[in-house]
Amino acid sequence: MSLEEYIANNRKKKEKFLLYFFIIVGVLFYLIDFDIILFVRGIPDMLDLLIKIFKPNFSYSDVVWRALLDTIQMSIIGSFLGVIFSIPFIFLTAGNITFSKKIAIILNRVFAILRTIPSLIWAAILVSIFSIGKFSGTVALTIIAFLIAQKLLRERVEEIGEDKLNSTLSTGASRIQLMKYSVMPEIKKHIISTFFIILESNIRSATILGFVGAGGIGQIMWRDLNHLRYDNLATIILILFILILSIDFLSLFVRRAKNIKKCRIKTYSGFRAYKIIKKLFVLFFIILITLVLKNYFNITLERLYKGFLQGKVILIRMCHLNIKYFPKIVEGIWDSFIIALFATFFSAILGFIMSFFAAYNSSPNKYFSIIFKGLINIMRTIPPMIIAIVFFRGIGPGKVAGALALVVYTSGTLTKMYSEIIENVNENVEDSIKSTGAKKIAVYTSGLFRETYPSFVGVLLYRLESNIRNSTILGIIGAGGIGTLLNMNIMWRNWENVGLIVLAIGIMVGCIDILSKKIRMFIK
């Protein structure tokens, strides 16, 4: 091929790519009913609301700190209990150590379906059972933490080599001894890091649980929104930004901590004393946690018993699916899918551009990197519900507002994840392209992006799965999709319809999960 033919062929490829790109953009805008005239007319109203939101009322901080303390307590307790409860189930669900392969398959499938239900939906159902308050919110966060921890720790156990397990069994060790001496030492180091990963996620989830009356800072956030106190809302967002940034740094510090000094015991009597002290410490810790939880939840056994009875009735009704309601659900499921697809597609474009400026090894200079890192932290700190309300101001409720809100939130999250991947690329890749005299943008597009393309697609698919769940949550405040139907049926106590909607959401997220796994395998 001559140079002229190569240039002409390359130009045709670019033209073909741009044609497909604009076709996809046009189709997505059409599917979410985007009205450019309405959007342009609404820009002044949206900017006016945005300016009000970013004017904090610092005298309001005393009220916020009390609610924030509840949010932190809910997140820590929910994360702690979820991780602790997940450990026994690891030994039932991990394929390489389970007592029964059939039980492991059944439990893993059940947990996979339950993981598709967002925390806000769990909270809404629990509020219907146990009434409003932080008890319902904490239980919802515990359920989510349990399901995530069970998956993460199970995958860690399944990574343990068969040789190591077989060598322990060959000594005549029982299954219990295998777990105690071979499995637990391997996952101990992962339990703490898993806790912080879940805590970081639960902090964000806990901020919106108050929208359904499940305690925490979300309750005063919802109250301030209803009373149009945007200065108070700005204070909440600022404090949340500081909190989430602190959690990020703390979790990063814990994950990178490698050397923990251990007490060396040289005598048998010292070893016996250590074992006794260890057992006493565990007993003391259990008693302390029990007392803390008893005072924290502040719920009587009678109320708990009534709640379980009511929950049993609701669960039975949810299992009696109202199949006649299915045609209405199809439209809601389709809207949620389109919202998630729209948000993921445009977030990929924004994330690709913003990652260039955010990653320190591709950014034009360090100041650009610091500014963009701060920007993406703000974007992912503000709950998508708040962003959706800003768009409501300009274009009204509906799936357009929900889709645009998810674009903002997902762009921040995607940029953070992808920029961290870019920063971990081997310096040789960057240096080899720089040596040709290429500029920063060429180094990014021709070197760093090509090197990390599979990771970029993997992160993008993960965000698509997350956006399916987020689109469900946004529907609860009228941003379109299946969440709108779900919220109405929970309010009206139509549990037969709720059961069918939850099952439909589970199937939708499950299908996306299977598709994304196949795409990841194809790329690898």
Percent of the chain with pLDDT over 70: 90
As a whole number, mean pLDDT of residues 494-516 equals 80
Ordered DSSP codes for 159-185: TS-HHHHHHHHTTT--HHHHIIIIIHH
Ordered DSSP codes for 209-236: HGGGT-SSHHHHHHHHHHTT-HHHHHHH
Please indicate, yes or no, if residue 388 is contained in any of the structural domains: yes
As a whole number, mean pLDDT of residues 429-436 equals 71
Amino acid code (one letter) for 149: A
Residue 480 and residue 335 in contact, taking contact as beta carbons nearer than 8 Å: yes
The 10s digit of each residue's pLDDT in 442-478 is 778 777 777 777 778 777 877 887 788 777 777 767 7
Q: Average pLDDT, whole number, for the chain?
A: 79
Q: Do 87 and 230 fall within a single domain?
A: yes
Q: What is the pLDDT of residue 320?
A: 87
Select from 225, 259, 293 the last residue of a domain.
259
Residue-number span of the structural domain to which 250 is assigned: 56-259
Residue environment code for 409-437, b if the CB has 16+ CB neighbours within 10 A, otherwise e = bbbbbbbbbbbebbeebeeebbeebeeee
Q: Do 309 and 336 fall within a single domain?
A: no
The 10s digit of each residue's pLDDT in 324-337 is 888 888 888 888 88
Q: What is the pLDDT of residue 345?
A: 92
251 has pLDDT over 70: no
Q: How many domains does the chain have?
A: 3
259 has pLDDT over 50: no
Percent of the chain with pLDDT over 90: 2
Q: What is the pLDDT of residue 255?
A: 54
Q: How confident is the model at residue 268 (pLDDT cuts 50, 70, 90)?
A: low
Closest CA to 378 of 219, 215, 234, 202: 234
Select from 221, 237, 259 the last residue of a domain.
259
Please indicate, yes or no, if residue 220 is contained in any of the structural domains: yes
Q: What is the pLDDT of residue 260?
A: 46
The 10s digit of each residue's pLDDT in 150-201 is 887 887 787 777 777 777 777 777 777 777 777 777 777 678 777 877 887 7
Compute the CA torsion angle 254, 77, 373, 371 (nearest 10 deg): -120
Q: What is the pLDDT of residue 523?
A: 58
- Judge if pTM exceeds 0.85: no
Cα 366 to chain center, whole Å?
29
The 10s digit of each residue's pLDDT in 29-86 is 888 888 888 888 888 888 888 887 777 777 777 777 777 787 888 888 888 889 888 8
Q: Do 283 and 349 fall within a single domain?
A: no
Please indicate, yes or no, if residue 22 is contained in any of the structural domains: no
Q: Do 272 and 386 fall within a single domain?
A: no
